[in-house]
Structure 1
């Protein structure tokens, strides 16, 4: 039950918006187009099995792992705030 200025279903609307944002972010990161035969970062041959498994692949496994580690985990948005921040 929402009170004050928040309408009914406001919490669910926030949850839906967060999920939609995460889906859009994930889809924007998917590769597209034809796969490359050679890694655009280091020039190593990308195995045919990887090119078939990941359409539009542009990096070899080693370079992709390095990129993923560099990006780190995506925390997303906590629109409600953490419990610790509410206690301060």
Structure 2
């Protein structure tokens, strides 16, 4: 059976959720611009990749390594 503490906890959680949602909604949306240089190895990212994959931050080699690592550790 719920008591006053449970109701207070629910109210606080609702308030936190509301404020977090408002904060996320207020964040400016980032422009999906591709990096000129890979964030991992700092090699230039070819223009064809930047145009084909808008918002890319890694070269093809580093992205393949990242994808393989994420697939291996997704469990």
With normalisation by structure 1, the TM-score equals 0.46
- The higher radius of gyration belongs to 2
RMSD: 2.2
Give the deviation of 1:47 after TM superposition.
0.2
- Matching of residues 7-22 of structure 1 within 5 Å: none
Q: Give the helix-richer structure, 1 or 2.
A: 2
Structure-2 residue corresponding to 1:43? 42
- SS for the counterpart of 1:34 is coil
Structure-1 residue corresponding to 2:65? 66
Show structure 1 runs of 4+ deviating over 3 A: 73-76
Structure 2 unaligned spans of 5+: 1-30
Structure-2 residue corresponding to 1:52? 51
Give the deviation of 1:33 after TM superposition.
1.5
Structure-2 residue corresponding to 1:17? none
Distance 1:74 1:43, change over 3 A: closer
Aligned residues: 45
Q: Distance in 1 between matches of 2:48 and 2:58?
A: 13
